[in-house]
Amino acid sequence: MNRSEGFVKRRNVARENSDGLPKEDGDERKPSRDEEVDEGDSKETRLTLMEEVLLLGLKDKEGYTSFWNDCISSGLRGCILIELGLRGRVELERNGMRRRSLLARKLVVKSDSTVGDVLLDEALKHLKETDPPESVQSWIEYLSGETWNPLKLRYQLKNVRERLAKNLVEKGVLTTEKQNFLFFDMTTHPLTDNVTKTRLIKKIQDAVLTKWVNNPHHMDKRMLALIFLAHASDVLENAFAPLNDDDYELATKRVRKLLDLNFEEEANKPNTCEVLWAVFAAFTK
């Protein structure tokens, strides 16, 4: 599951960014109180990590992800594990006297109370019923159905993209259509709420440009997870493609800086979410 090879060659986009963005890397600072609030994120359009990654990957008019993208399936499962970690439902087992790596430690259920999201609750149920516990990397494979162990295939979460798309339809972001592809009909989900996707893209761009803090522990955990998982799912390019050349180069340079972090060291710092770093390690090992 190596996703650390870098960005695909960017598409040529004529639109320029007019925000006057900084070009230096050394401006380490904490975000102000106003910056920590996503002023455009209403309850009606608040999205999960899985929904945000899928939305980035969907073609606006066509309503489906690229047929050549074979990364988004496992990336969405990584989003599910991070969502459960950020919501306090799962954690990594405690280290004993001998410190073990993030990928060697098992993922255990911290609280089995339901989340209220069907996909998250289904994954949590699988985690709760599994004894002995499994590692983060194993769970990404099981939930994706990418395992050679037939006994673990029952843990696969099926039709994840379609179920997430339906969530986005219910939230008014997408609509549902039928398209004929010569030999078969396919349900597609074109974009109807361009504001939500535009806001999502700008939020990602701002995180690595105007609001860059040069320290992952000063970044919002959800934004940090979104950047990593969008990259692992091969859809982060879609957020950076509209940037002018200078801003694109700066954004990709800063994302590379995040990808090159020592995840083991970062997970040992205070007030962190170990599940977050374990998922990152699973995709970049």
Cα–Cα dist 192/24, whole Å: 37
Average pLDDT of the chain, as a whole number = 85
Helix axes 221-232, 194-208, angle to 10 degrees: 100
pLDDT per residue as tens digits for the range 164-209: 999 999 999 999 998 776 677 788 999 998 999 999 999 999 999 9
CA distance linking residue 54 with residue 71, whole number of Å: 12
**DSSP 8-state assignment for residue 217:** G
Spatial strand order of the sheet with 90-92 comes to: 90-92, 106-109, 134-135
Q: Evaluate the CA torsion angle 5, 228, 85, 200 in order and state its sign.
A: negative
State how far the Cα of 95 lies from the Cα of 246, in Å rounded to an integer.
Answer: 44
Look at residue 102 in the predicted model and tell me its pLDDT. Answer: 95
**Dihedral over Cα of 163, 189, 86, 94: its sign:** positive
Domains by residue range for the chain, with CATH: 49-284 (1.10.3630.10)
What digits encode the pLDDT tens for the residues 10-44? 544 434 443 444 444 444 444 443 333 344 444 44
What pLDDT score does 45 carry? Answer: 66
Of the two residues 1 and 170, the one the predictor is more confident about is 170
